[in-house]
Amino acid sequence: MARKPNYGYEKRQKELAKKAKKEEKKKRKQEEAEESPEESPEEE
**23-42 tens-digit pLDDT:** 999 999 999 888 776 555 55
Mean pLDDT to the nearest integer, 1-22 = 94
Whether residue 16 is predicted with pLDDT greater than 90 in this model: the reply is: yes
Mean pLDDT to the nearest integer, 6-27 = 97
Question: In degrees to the nearest 10, what's the CA dihedral of 10, 16, 18, 21?
Answer: -140
Pair 40, 30: CB distance under 8 Å: no
Query: What secondary structure, in 3-state letters, does the chain show?
Result: CCCCCCHHHHHHHHHHHHHHHHHHHHHHHHHHHHHCCCCCCCCC
> pTM of the entire structure?
0.57
**Quick one: what percent of the chain has pLDDT higher than 90?**
61
